[in-house]
Structure 1
C-alpha cells in the first residue's frame, strides 16, 4: 500500500441548511404576537412588502420578465429553501418538516447550527407590534403612580433639608412590596449622619400612606397597621410577636401566651387578616398582560372548526406594482441585484408564513381530533397523548410538532389552554381499561380535596384508596407529587388552615 500523498475525487450528497430555511423553521416556534413583531421588522427592511389594510389589495402583479426569475438557475436539484419559495403546499411542508439538529444536514460552520442565525426573529422577545385593527388603548392609558413617587410626594410635605435627603435615600431602598431592604446602620454610615436621625426619619415614613410601608419585617408591618387601627394592645403585641404559631395553627399555645379566651383570639385573628402584608403592591406594578390566543376552536354541527387568530396576523403581500415601476427605470448593476434580492426575500416570506399557518392548523386539528372528549366533557376525559402520536398521524417529524406547539395558546368554549397542555403522560387504569391522562388525575385529586370534610382531612393514603376506587392505579408518592404540583398542601397543613378559618 502506497503511503505517498495523493488527490482523490469523491462524490457525495448532503442537505445544507440555508439561513432562509433555518428562519422558516424557527418561525414555527413563534407565537402570533412574536410573528407580528417579526413582520413589522421585515416591513421596515423590505420596500417590496406591504401589509394589507381591510379588504384593499396592495400592489398589482408585475408583467413577466427576466427579473421575475429571482431564484438562481441550477443544474442539480433545488435545495429546501428554494422548494419553499417556488413549490406548492406539499413542497413547503416537506421543507419545514425537518429536524435541523439531525446528522442528516451538513453543518460546515457554527453559524449553520440551531442557535447560529437568529437573524431578525428576536426569539428572546415576546412583545407585539402595533395592530392596524385600531388604536391600542392599553398603551395609551396614563402610567400608574409608582410607590416611590407616592412616598416622595408625602416626604416633600412632611420633612425638609437634610431630612428630606435621608428620606429620599430610605425610600430608594424600599422594595415594591413596601419593605425597607437595607440596614439603617449601613445607611447612616453611607450618608455620614447619626443613626438616631435616620431612625427618626424612618419613623416619619412609617406614618405615610399606605400604612405599614417602610417596615423591616412582616411583624413590624402588621404592628404599624394595628397601631393605625388603635388595636395595638398587649394581647395583639404578643400575637404579632408569635406569627409562626399563627402560621402553624397552634391555637392552644396562642391563647396561653395572649391570655385570652376562644372568642377574643378569634377576634384578634380576624383583625390580623384584615391587614395588608404587602402594602406597597397597591402602587406601581406592571400591568397584567392578557394572553392572546393563536388558535380558535368552536363546535360546528357534528364537527369542529379550527382557525388561526387572524387579528394578530396582518396579511403580507408583495408590492409587484412598485417593483415593476422601479425596474422600468434606469438602474445600475448593484441596485438591480438588490431589488432582485428583495423580491426573492419578499416572495419567500409570504410563502413561509402561509405554510406556517397551514402547519399549525394541521397540528391543532389533530389535537382536537384526538382530544375530542376533553372539548366535549372536560378535563376528566383528557387522554394521554405524545408528540409522536400526533406526528405519526399527520406524517410530520416529531420536532416539527414540538415547535408548532411551543408558545401557542388555543381558545375554546372551556377556556384558554397552551397547546402543550394537551400532551400529558399516561396513568394506567386499575380496572385494566384505557390509560388516563395525568391532568385527569390531578383534576380528580383537586375535586376530592375540595369536597373533604374539615373535621376529617384526607391523607395521601386515603386519596390513593379513593382514586383506586375511581379506576386510577396510582402510588402514594405520585399522589403527593401531583398534589404539590397543583398547589395543595399536605393533610397537616390543610388541617391547620381549616382550624384558622374556623376561628376566623
Structure 2
C-alpha cells in the first residue's frame, strides 16, 4: 500500500449561529417578565445601556383588517397580581403549638425530631421506631409523646397514615363511633366502592353507610397542605385582545413591557481617547439590542394579530368555536419561518374576552368531518367531550365508545375510541368505570 499527501480545495455553504443570532432567537421566546430580567442583566454589563421601565401609556397596536381603537390605558389589573398573606408555615405553626405543651427538656428534643419528620401534608414521613432510635428512647415513650403532639390543632397533624389522620379528625368532631372506626379500618374497600362489603363489615344499613360517607368526605386527608399552599402571583399577559366598534384589536401589554435605553450622551461625555474602541463596541451592542427588542415586539404583534384574525369565532363563542390551525398557516401569512412562530408562541400569554391563554393553545390539529362542513379542531372536540361528561347521568356514565358515537352523530366528526380516551386523559377526567365508582362512594347513585 502506497501512502501520499494530497491537498483538496473546495467550497461549501453553512449557517453560522453567532452570539447575536442566538440572543435574537432567545428574545423571541421571552415573555415580558423574562425580557425585563434579560435587559437588566445586559445593563449591568454595559454602561451605555439602561432598562426602560414599563409606562402606563397608550399602547402601540398592529391593526387588524377591521379594528377600532379603544380608550383606557389600564390594560392590566395590578391588584389581581397581589397574593394574599400566606400566614405561618406548617413548621412554624406546629413549632409554636409544641412550645405551648408542658414538655420536659428531653421530650422537647424528641418533639423536635417529630417536627423534622413532618411532611407538607401534615403526616409523619418517618416511622416512630426510627425517630425513637435517633432520640435514644424506647418506642413506647416515643408513642406517648406522639399522642400528645396529635392533639395539636388542626386535628390530623402528626398522623402516620390516612386512616389515623381521618380517625384523629373524627374523634375531634365527635364522629368516631364503633361503626365509623370499622369504616376507617377498611379504607381499601371504600376505594374499590365495595359498599355492600362495607355494610357487612360495619354492620349498618345502606342509608347509615351513606351518612358515614358524607361525614368522611367532610374530613381533610391532608391538614398540613393548607399552610404551605400559598397562591403564586398571576403572571400578567403579554398581548391583550379588545373589541372595538368594528372589530377586534391586539395590543402589546405596555404596562409590563420593558424597553432598551441607549445612553449616547454618556458615551459623548467620556473624554479618554484610549477608550474609543471600547465605547464604540458597547454602543454597538446596546443599539443592536434595542433593534432586536423592537423586532421581537413587532413579530409578537404580527403573530398575535394573525392568530386573532383566524380565531375570531373563538373570541365570540368560546372553546367550542375554536378552529383548527397550524404553525405553517401563520408563518405563511406573515412571511416568517415556521420556527419563528413556534418560538414566539412558546412563552407568550394573550388576554381575550374568553380568558387568558398561552398563545400556543390556539394551535390544534384538524379532525375530519362527514357533514361537508369545516373540519373541527382538537381543542373544540376536547371541550365537547368535557361538556358531554359534565352533563352525563351519575348512574350511567358515558363510555368512550358512546362519546365517539355521539360526536359522530351530532357533529359529524369521526373519532376512534382511543382518541376519546386520549382527550379525556388530557382533560384529567377519569374513565367511565372510575366515574361510576366515585358516584357510588359519593352517594350519587
Residues 389 and 451 (structure 1), Cα distance of their counterparts in 2 relative to 1, 3 Å cut:
same
Partner of 2:67: none
- Partner of 1:16, secondary structure, is coil
The alignment yields a C-alpha RMSD, in angstroms, of 2.6
Q: Identify the match of residue 303 of structure 1 among 243, 247, 262.
A: 247
Partner of 2:294: 354
What is the alpha-carbon distance in structure 2 between the residues aligned to residue 361 and residue 185 of structure 1? 62
Residues 135 and 343 (structure 1), Cα distance of their counterparts in 2 relative to 1, 3 Å cut:
farther
> Across the two proteins, how many residue pairs are aligned to each other?
423
1:143 deviation in Å?
6.1
* 1:273 partnered with 2:217: yes
5 Å matches for 1:33-112? 33-52=33-52
Partner of 2:191: 247
Partner of 1:403: 343
Instruction: Tell me if the contact between 2:86 and 2:230 (Cα under 8 Å) persists in the aligned partners.
Output: no
* 1:290 partnered with 2:241: no
Instruction: Tell me if the contact between 2:242 and 2:353 (Cα under 8 Å) persists in the aligned partners.
Output: yes
Instruction: Tell me if the contact between 1:146 and 1:285 (Cα under 8 Å) persists in the aligned partners.
Output: no
- Unaligned runs of 5+ residues in structure 1 are 57-132
Partner of 1:146: 89
Partner of 1:123: none
1:253 deviation in Å?
1.9
1:499 deviation in Å?
2.6
Instruction: Tell me if the contact between 2:306 and 2:330 (Cα under 8 Å) persists in the aligned partners.
Output: yes
5 Å matches for 1:1-16? 5=5, 10=10, 14-16=14-16
Q: Identify the match of residue 408 of structure 2 among 465, 468, 473.
A: 468
Residues 355 and 4 (structure 1), Cα distance of their counterparts in 2 relative to 1, 3 Å cut:
same
- Partner of 2:434, secondary structure, is helix
With normalisation by structure 2, the TM-score equals 0.88
Partner of 2:175: 231
* 1:320 partnered with 2:264: yes
What is the alpha-carbon distance in structure 1 between the residues aligned to residue 124 and residue 11 of structure 2? 71
Residues 393 and 135 (structure 1), Cα distance of their counterparts in 2 relative to 1, 3 Å cut:
closer
* 1:477 partnered with 2:418: yes
Instruction: Tell me if the contact between 2:327 and 2:342 (Cα under 8 Å) persists in the aligned partners.
Output: yes
* 1:169 partnered with 2:121: no
Residues 43 and 143 (structure 1), Cα distance of their counterparts in 2 relative to 1, 3 Å cut:
farther
- Partner of 1:353, secondary structure, is helix
1:27 deviation in Å?
0.9
Instruction: Tell me if the contact between 1:295 and 1:306 (Cα under 8 Å) persists in the aligned partners.
Output: yes
Deviation readout 1:85-117 (Å, 9 max, x if unpaired): xxxxxxxxxxxxxxxxxxxxxxxxxxxxxxxxx
With normalisation by structure 1, the TM-score equals 0.79
1:164 deviation in Å?
0.6
Q: Identify the match of residue 135 of structure 2 among 191, 194, 207.
A: 191
Deviation readout 1:412-458 (Å, 9 max, x if unpaired): 00001111111111211132433211111111111111111233322
Residues 13 and 457 (structure 1), Cα distance of their counterparts in 2 relative to 1, 3 Å cut:
closer
* 1:453 partnered with 2:396: no
1:277 deviation in Å?
0.6
Partner of 2:66: none
What is the alpha-carbon distance in structure 2 between the residues aligned to residue 250 and residue 134 of structure 1? 50
Partner of 1:27: 27
* 1:386 partnered with 2:330: no
